[in-house]
Amino acid sequence: MELDERKLKILQAIIRTYLETGEPVGSRTISKYSDLNLSSATIRNEMSDLEEMGYILQPHTSAGRIPSDKGYRLYVDTMLEAKEGEVNSLREELEEKAEKIDDVLQQVAKFLATNTNYATMVSGPRYQTKRVKFIQITSVDGEHLLAVIVLDNNAVKNQMIRIEEPIQDEMIVKLNFILNTTLNGLDVLEMNLAVIQRIKEQMGEHTQVIDSVLEVIGKTLVDQDDLEVYTSGATNILRYPELSDQSKAADLLNAFEEKKVMHQWLGLPEKGKDNDTHDIQVYIGDETQVESMKDCSMVTATYQIQEGVYGKIGIVGPKRMDYDKVVGTLNSLMGQLDDIFKEKK
Amino acid sequence: MELDERKLKILQAIIRTYLETGEPVGSRTISKYSDLNLSSATIRNEMSDLEEMGYILQPHTSAGRIPSDKGYRLYVDTMLEAKEGEVNSLREELEEKAEKIDDVLQQVAKFLATNTNYATMVSGPRYQTKRVKFIQITSVDGEHLLAVIVLDNNAVKNQMIRIEEPIQDEMIVKLNFILNTTLNGLDVLEMNLAVIQRIKEQMGEHTQVIDSVLEVIGKTLVDQDDLEVYTSGATNILRYPELSDQSKAADLLNAFEEKKVMHQWLGLPEKGKDNDTHDIQVYIGDETQVESMKDCSMVTATYQIQEGVYGKIGIVGPKRMDYDKVVGTLNSLMGQLDDIFKEKK
DNA sequence: GTTAGCACTCATTTCGTTAGAGTGCTAATT
DNA sequence: AATTAGCACTCTAACGAAATGAGTGCTAAC
């Protein structure tokens, strides 16, 4: 059977209506409120065909039709027209308040959640390799050294180091010199035993302090806190009757508390790049590969802070989410984010 | 009417049973499962009295009784016996993983949530006044200075400063000297115009850089990020039928997403100190002063990191929460936290 | 003072009935 | 050959009456 123009229009009408109401759509509804001028009987015949082809399905014999995952997929792929959203208000807010990228992302999550009424998550930027750009050890008081490490992405990490006995200032100056000449430009993999041995030889004494310092540097570089994920509006899920079922909703909400799970979700395989539109991907139902999301859809977008440094934004809602609006909003937002990050760089 | 021994025992039995089941408790249940050896009729008479006195109430005429807020209050005040909980497992986990206090608190929240099955929140420590202990400006590259500020509580803040034109190293050394001698020991209120003027005079040139630096310092000191709140297990609320009603649950869960709201909740007035037991406070129903928590109870405890530096832990659950266990767990936990913080100090 | 017994209340459950939305099929129409 | 009107049929949701049963309050006996 062929999916002709008319069937497509009917399918579109069914999905549009279902997105609005959340109720199964009957033939009469389509007959009345579409500009096709066909009787309900004809629609019924076509619907029967569409069902046979797998685009729609009946919850039970005498009910209207709802879109199947396949139907949604077709809708998203072919019938969605990108349009410019109204994301202006965010821009101003961000410019004022946000100092750090973290804050920006947190606010983006919140903004999206309140504007779309879906649940949102934003993963922090993932830096591919972290190299040391600058190290400084300072004596804070008799008992503490402070290690400040600047990475090549200009991220700053610091860590207090407790020491047994005070160190003379000149030793610290020397230590700083050695550390910087030896370690700058290296990533954690390149700091092997040979390098460490070289530092110790140059310093002569105070190997204990060096051990502490190197441990801190190692931890800092390996540190996975760029696994940060910001979520917002998780409870929006409760707005949609088809998702607010006791146990299912709890599952979903719990997942939103777990950063690991969030990262897994955002790490879904991409279905082919679409560079023009900021890599916006739509996952419907089982396509999410997550059991507890089988009644949901997720839209993700990839933002880029600088070459090779990117993160993801995800929006989770019911299958009948307003894809049009979500994709539009995301598209518009991504453009703005690009600008903001350019400025901050 | 007087609240004699027997009435008290019956009330206790009613509350205990209700805590377990969540269902209104009938006279027959008490008669059978308590060691009072009284017939249901007698119990009924007593219950009638207890109701008149306001300790219990009937949801409707032909139902059993449930405790009133007043009943809970009496229970909590008089019948709760502190007992040592089993919080040992936490200790080990914490010692291994936690590096920063933030992490400890985050884990405490999670631990409590999974162990009690209630929602938990932990507010970060509130430092009363922040004074500068140590400032260091460093030149990272031609375009960036790095300001590192150590506060008197050993918290470290850092901030990149963008500069128009490079600065000579000697100027930076001078700047560091001036900043440290002038600002150390001061809090933000004491950094008034006079002090700032004095710095500028000493530096002579580069007033623009100084402005930037001082701005950063000011922001850092005023920065309210010690308003941090860690929550966990918010969705546990959905476990309790009496709370999982659509709109109410959403209200509560939303509140858990808002740090400000959390702080407000944790900032409830205390009802008189009880130093021995780590200031554990119980708020029942309306006592929480929060509309959306009127069907909940909250137990809070105050932890102390060092003299004058403390934060709060809150556990939110249904009114029929297992006060005994919660208070016990908190008590035990607080002891352990004390130890941990002592070590980390 | 305690208890057995009984009438009464009222939320909850059960079950049959109805109403209505929607379908699928057939026969008539274009 | 495509479309439509009409009708029988299906199934859910809504309704209401009746049954159920947990629990009470009261009275009279122990």
Answer whether B257 touches A (CB < 8 Å): yes
Name the residue of chain B whose CA is nearest to A158's CA. B156
The verdict on a CB contact (< 8 Å) between A232 and B146 is no
- CB contacts of B144 in chain A (<8 Å) are 154
- CB contacts of B137 in chain A (<8 Å) are none
- In the structure encoding, which two tokens stand for residue A1, read together? 């059977």
CA atom of B43 to C1′ atom of D19, Å: 29
How far is B84 from chain A, CA to nearest CA, in Å?
A: 30
Same domain, A308 and A248: yes
The verdict on a CB contact (< 8 Å) between B140 and A158 is no
Same domain, B220 and B232: no
Instruction: Kindly report the CATH number assigned to the domain that includes residue B13.
Output: 1.10.10.10
How far is A90 from chain B, CA to nearest CA, in Å?
A: 19
- What is the average per-residue pLDDT within A17-30? 94
Same domain, B252 and B112: yes
* Total domains in the fold of chain B: 3
- CB contacts of A242 in chain B (<8 Å) are none
Same domain, A219 and A285: no
Helix orientation angle between A193-203 and A207-222, rounded to the nearest 10 degrees: 150
| B232 assigned to some structural domain | yes
Task: Compute CA A315 distance to the chain's CA centroid, rounded to the nearest angstrom.
Answer: 8
- What is the average per-residue pLDDT within A247-261? 88
Identify the weakest region by mean pLDDT among A80-89, A202-211, A215-224, B174-183: A80-89
| B41 assigned to some structural domain | yes
Same domain, B140 and B208: yes
- What is the average per-residue pLDDT within B308-318? 89
Identify the weakest region by mean pLDDT among A33-37, A223-227, A324-328, B216-220: A223-227
SS3 B313: strand
Same domain, A244 and A191: no
Size of interface A-B (CB pairs under 8 A): 72
What are the tens digits of pLDDT across the range A208-246? 777 877 887 777 777 655 578 999 999 999 888 888 877
The pTM assigned to this predicted structure is 0.82
What are the tens digits of pLDDT across the range B260-304? 889 889 987 776 655 555 788 999 999 999 999 999 999 999 988
| The last residue of a domain, from among A225, A260, A291 | A225
- CB contacts of A158 in chain B (<8 Å) are 148, 156, 158
Identify the weakest region by mean pLDDT among A275-284, B29-38, B143-152, B174-183: A275-284
Helix orientation angle between B207-222 and B193-203, rounded to the nearest 10 degrees: 150
Same domain, B161 and B302: no
The pLDDT value recorded for residue B124 is 83
What is the C-alpha to C-alpha distance for residues B5 and B11, in angstroms, rounded to an integer?
A: 10
pLDDT at B51 over 90: yes
What is the C-alpha to C-alpha distance for residues B300 and B121, in angstroms, rounded to an integer?
A: 9
The pLDDT value recorded for residue B144 is 81
pLDDT at A18 over 70: yes
| The last residue of a domain, from among A53, A79, A105 | A79
- CB contacts of A180 in chain B (<8 Å) are none
From the Cβ of A41, is strand C under 7 Å away?
A: yes
Q: Using the CA of A41, which nucleotide's C1' is the nearest one?
A: D4
Average pLDDT, chain B: 84
Identify the weakest region by mean pLDDT among A331-340, B91-100, B248-257, B307-316: B91-100
Instruction: Kindly report the CATH number assigned to the domain that includes residue A212.
Output: 3.30.390.60
Identify the weakest region by mean pLDDT among A239-248, A335-344, B115-124: A335-344
Query: At B98, is the pLDDT very low, low, confident or very high (cuts 50, 70, 90)?
Result: very low
From the Cβ of A26, is strand C under 7 Å away?
A: yes
Answer whether A98 touches B (CB < 8 Å): no
What are the tens digits of pLDDT across the range A285-312? 999 999 989 999 999 999 887 777 788 9
Query: At A332, is the pLDDT very low, low, confident or very high (cuts 50, 70, 90)?
Result: confident
Same domain, B191 and B159: yes
Q: Are B335 and B325 in contact (CB under 8 A)?
A: no
Q: Are A149 and A158 in contact (CB under 8 A)?
A: yes
Which of A140, A156, A233 minimises the CB distance to B146? A156
pLDDT at B345 over 60: no
Q: Using the CA of B6, which nucleotide's C1' is the nearest one?
A: C1
Answer whether B244 touches A (CB < 8 Å): yes
Instruction: Kindly report the CATH number assigned to the domain that includes residue A316.
Output: 3.30.450.40
Which of A141, A158, A235 minimises the CB distance to B156? A158
- What is the average per-residue pLDDT within A45-53? 95
What is the C-alpha to C-alpha distance for residues A231 and A259, in angstroms, rounded to an integer?
A: 9
Identify the weakest region by mean pLDDT among B24-28, B68-72, B165-169, B175-179: B165-169
What is the C-alpha to C-alpha distance for residues A293 and A112, in angstroms, rounded to an integer?
A: 19
The verdict on a CB contact (< 8 Å) between B238 and A250 is yes
How far is B253 from chain A, CA to nearest CA, in Å?
A: 7
A159 DSSP β-pair partners = A147
CA atom of A58 to C1′ atom of D10, Å: 13
Share of chain A above pLDDT 70, in %: 88
Same domain, A50 and A120: no
What are the tens digits of pLDDT across the range A102-150? 778 888 999 999 999 999 999 988 776 677 888 888 888 777 888 888 8
pLDDT at B188 over 50: yes
- In the structure encoding, which two tokens stand for residue B4, read together? 């004699």
| The last residue of a domain, from among A167, A190, A225 | A225
pLDDT at A41 over 90: yes
- What is the average per-residue pLDDT within B83-95? 60
More confident residue, B292 or A94: B292
Q: Which of residues 148-177 of B touch A (CB under 8 A)?
A: 148, 150, 154, 156, 158, 160
What is the C-alpha to C-alpha distance for residues B271 and A22, in angstroms, rounded to an integer?
A: 50
Which of A138, A150, A249 minimises the CB distance to B238? A249
Cα B220–Cα B224–Cα B249 angle in degrees, nearest 5: 155
- CA distances to B129, B134, B196, B204 from B192, rounded to whole Å, are 16, 18, 6, 19
Q: Which of residues 19-48 of B touch A (CB under 8 A)?
A: none
What is the C-alpha to C-alpha distance for residues B30 and B50, in angstroms, rounded to an integer?
A: 14
| B84 assigned to some structural domain | no
Same domain, B70 and B101: no
Same domain, B120 and B233: yes
What is the C-alpha to C-alpha distance for residues A206 and A145, in angstroms, rounded to an integer?
A: 13
Average pLDDT, chain A: 84
Same domain, A233 and A116: yes
- What is the average per-residue pLDDT within B324-331? 90
Pick from A157, A289, A140, A145: nearest CA to A225 = A157
**Residue A39, domain extent:** 5-79
